[in-house]
Amino acid sequence: MQVDKTTLSDLSVFDNDESQSIFHLLNFTQTNQGRDYLYFILNKPQSSIIEIQDVQNTIQQIQIIKNTWPKEITNGTLMVLEKFYETPISNYPERPTFIDAFLYKLLNAHDYSITKYSVTHFIHFINGLNQLKNLLINKPGKQLQFWVSKIELVLANNILQEIVENNSNTNLQPATVLRYGNFFRNKFKEDCRVLIQIFACLDAYSSLALAGEKYNFTFPTFKENTDPFIDIVDLFHPLLQQPVSYTLQLNKQSNFLFLTGANMAGKSTFIKAVGICVYLAHIGMGVPAKNMALSLFDGLLSNIHVVDNIMKGESYFFNEVQRIKNTIEKISDGKNWLILIDELFKGTNVQDAMKCSTTVIEGLHKMNNALFVLSTHLYEIAQDLQTHPNLQFKYFETEVANDQLIFSYHLKEGISNDRLGYLILKREGVVDLLAKL
């Protein structure tokens, strides 16, 4: 699925304030390498249902074994392994005897200490991977079995088999320390990198497994439809502490959602929740919803946080126009797209915005290869658009009681005509401050 950096930013998949990102929410990795691979996963949505289902399977199988996940491998373990290859150490005797080991330990005490410490961590690493291999060896899935077979192939080495058979025994004689140290340093470096990468992958998918269970995500069902569709029950925004759930259906016959409501009523949150749900589904991750079925999308684009560019002399409105233009050009390829637009043409006057918005919507609604969710304050334009059968109209209701705004955040059928800007200005004390000037 195609997605650009603007969309990833709009949906908070990644954010400058990392604590406010989906990446941070899902990050339960144990190692730096696992964290890096998790970042890679969240940057690379899958392009086929088969690939998505294999990722779903990987996460589900890891959820089954999560309570027996080996504790031997930590971030410190991998740091020690990598540091071992970077640290200058005096050459080891090729086949160390008791005397060789005694002399090496005597003459190279510091190097021996580093070697013994590192060998201990290598043993933990090998035994941890062997445990994972045994836990996953009969689990279904192309991706899992690829990793298992690679681990099995590397661990077939005689010295590694010796380590596995001795299990977690790290109380080694000096000659054995040097023999293992020589092997790990001079004959295991490339295999070690392969195994670290495999563990990073498993660590990242374990993170998604833990996150999915913690937040009660469910795995969506993908259907082989030529036409795009989304059917979501009890969708919620995963970054909110107390989210309100929504239900949404979009399909070829009803592919355009026209969303209205006052400021702070929940329009932007809803749009982002839809985008996050669809994006995570294409990662292969569980989604923040009770139930979800959807088609495979070729692309996801958003138009939520548009900014001006002072250095290029480009206004806010100009960049809004450019974003819409680029969107139209991309989705004209006949492929299946999901398009999210929050408040069209905020950068111009109301009359101009109404004309521009109507023109864009009149054009976009004719594209039945895409699904659209569009919010606007300009409820006046809805009247002329109601003649189009593929547009559905929903709004977020706001009540006023004693000059106080009450937001239910519930999605309702119809069109809002709330005009509450002045009330918000008054509630926040701005009117009183101005009166005192």
For residue 432 the two structure tokens come to 């009183």
Residue % of the chain over a pLDDT of 70: 92
Q: How confident is the model at residue 309 (pLDDT cuts 50, 70, 90)?
A: low
Q: Residue 13: pLDDT above 50? A: yes
257 close to 374: Cβ distance less than 8 angstroms: yes
**Amino acid 311: pLDDT:** 42
Q: Are strands 337-342 and 299-303 parallel, antiparallel or unpaired?
A: parallel
> E strands of 213-335, at which residues?
221-222, 230-235, 246-250, 256-261, 291-294, 299-303
Q: Residue 419: pLDDT above 80? A: no
Residue 295, CA distances (Å) to 11, 93, 224, 335 in order: 20, 62, 6, 12
81 close to 196: Cβ distance less than 8 angstroms: yes
Q: How confident is the model at residue 403 (pLDDT cuts 50, 70, 90)?
A: low
Q: Residue 120: what residue type?
A: T
**Amino acid 430: pLDDT:** 76
Would you list the DSSP string of 73-131?
Answer: --HHHHHHHHHHHHS--PPPPSS--HHHHHHHHHH-HHHHHHHHHHHHHHHHHHHHHHH
Would you list the DSSP string of 314-339?
Answer: B-HHHHHHHHHHHHHHHHTTSS-EEE
Number of C-beta neighbours around residue 61 at 10 A: 20
From CA 137, how far away is CA 409, in angstroms rounded?
47
265 close to 398: Cβ distance less than 8 angstroms: yes
Residue 407 or residue 69, greater confidence: 69
For residue 353 the two structure tokens come to 């915005």
From CA 127, how far away is CA 122, in angstroms rounded?
9
The whole-number average pLDDT for the span 304-311 is 60
Q: What is the pLDDT of residues 185-195, one digit of tens each?
A: 999 999 999 99
Q: Residue 165: what residue type?
A: E
337 close to 331: Cβ distance less than 8 angstroms: yes
Q: What is the pLDDT of residues 243-282, one digit of tens each?
A: 999 999 999 999 999 998 877 778 899 999 999 999 999 9
The single residue listed with the structure tokens 């658009």 is: 385
| Angle, CA 130 vertex, CA 201 and CA 52 arms, to 5° | 30
Q: What is the pLDDT of residues 220-240, one digit of tens each?
A: 999 998 899 999 999 999 999
Beta-bridge partners for 395:
260, 412
Sign of CA dihedral 256, 261, 267, 268: positive
338 close to 302: Cβ distance less than 8 angstroms: no
206 sits in which H/E element: helix 189-214
Q: What is the pLDDT of residues 124-176, one digit of tens each?
A: 999 999 999 999 998 999 999 999 999 999 999 999 999 998 876 668 899 99
273 close to 246: Cβ distance less than 8 angstroms: yes
Q: Residue 46: what residue type?
A: Q
Residue % of the chain over a pLDDT of 90: 68
Strand, helix or coil for residue 138: coil
Q: Residue 314: pLDDT above 70? A: no
Q: What is the pLDDT of residues 335-363, one digit of tens each?
A: 999 999 998 877 777 888 888 889 999 99
Of residues 266, 233, 271, the one with CA closest to residue 249: 233
260 close to 376: Cβ distance less than 8 angstroms: yes
From CA 74, how far away is CA 148, in angstroms rounded?
20
Residue 433, CA distances (Å) to 251, 425, 426, 428, 437 in order: 49, 10, 10, 10, 7
The whole-number average pLDDT for the span 92-110 is 91
From CA 281, how far away is CA 271, in angstroms rounded?
16
**Amino acid 352: pLDDT:** 85
Beta-bridge partners for 26:
none
Q: Mean pLDDT highest for which of 17-26, 72-81, 418-427?
A: 72-81
Q: Residue 429: pLDDT above 80? A: no
Burial class (CB in 10 A: 0-12, 13-18, 19+), 138: exposed
Q: Residue 313: pLDDT above 50? A: no
